[in-house]
């Protein structure tokens, strides 16, 4: 997970006030740009007109960039002020356009594909993990909405609004959200709440308060949380 680890580390350094012109920050920024993907992968079967520009989770995986890594990389580059340089801003816009183009018809985002949600395929006998499809999920939808908030958009931005509508429909009866790419309800719920905060959702919105109350309700006696 070198791409994922690098953008998380870059986030940590910049949020700890390491300046953007520090050689270590600049080296991390360049390392990420060197791994941006500009070839078409399997995702282009459902989006033939969409230009590439995302990032993958690991090395040598040009056919499968994913929305999660691309969103996280863009947020780390924003924190490192990479957008202040014309050439880098152009590359970031290419990545943003790719993320926007990967939104599902129901307003959500999956990881690798668009509208790949035919769950009957999971009943095929060799689908032993039950994971032959790539449906939109709360965690990845939250990641994209958080990115839009960092870019200065609010909840009226059409892709964000559609994503929020999906999240409202996807909210679990307990008040939290299930996250597919981490374990599971705590991760999904903080991913969504972080996004809603970034995009400017009202703190007293009933569905948001339900999620917060659920988090309070599952806190351990020692003060921590654990799935």
Distance separating alpha carbons of residues 134 and 111, to the nearest angstrom: 7
Active site residue 154: no
Q: What is the DSSP letter of 137?
A: B
Distance separating alpha carbons of residues 56 and 39, to the nearest angstrom: 12
CB 138 within 8 A of CB 170: yes
C-alpha 91 chain-centroid distance: 18
**pLDDT tens track, the chain, 227 positions:** 999 999 999 999 999 999 999 999 999 999 999 999 999 999 999 999 999 999 999 999 999 999 999 999 999 999 999 999 999 999 999 999 999 999 999 999 999 999 987 776 666 666 566 667 889 999 999 999 999 999 999 999 999 999 999 999 999 999 999 999 888 999 999 999 999 999 999 999 999 999 999 999 999 999 999 98
Q: Which of 68, 69, 113, 139 is catalytic?
A: 68
């Amino acid at each position: 997970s070198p791409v994922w680890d690098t953008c998380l580390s870059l986030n940590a350094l910049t949020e700890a006030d390491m300046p953007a012109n520090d050689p270590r920050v600049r080296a991390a920024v360049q390392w990420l740009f060197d791994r941006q993907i500009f070839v078409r992968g399997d995702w282009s079967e459902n989006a033939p007109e969409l230009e590439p520009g995302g990032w993958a989770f690991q090395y040598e995986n040009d056919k499968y960039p994913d929305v999660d890594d691309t969103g996280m990389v863009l947020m780390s580059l924003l924190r490192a002020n990479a957008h202040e340089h014309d050439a880098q801003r152009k590359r970031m816009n290419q990545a943003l356009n790719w993320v926007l183009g990967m939104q599902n018809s129901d307003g959500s985002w999956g990881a690798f594909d668009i509208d790949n949600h035919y769950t009957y395929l999971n009943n095929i006998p060799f689908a032993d993990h039950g994971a032959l499809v790539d449906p939109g999920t709360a965690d990845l939808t939250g990641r994209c909405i958080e990115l839009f908030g960092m870019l200065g958009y609010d909840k009226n931005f059409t892709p964000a609004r559609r994503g929020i509508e999906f999240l409202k429909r996807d909210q679990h009866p307990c008040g939290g959200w299930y996250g597919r790419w981490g374990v599971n309800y705590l991760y999904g719920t903080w991913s969504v709440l972080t996004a809603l905060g970034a995009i400017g959702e009202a703190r007293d919105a009933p569905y948001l308060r339900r999620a917060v109350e659920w988090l309070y309700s599952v806190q351990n006696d020692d003060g921590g949380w654990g799935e």
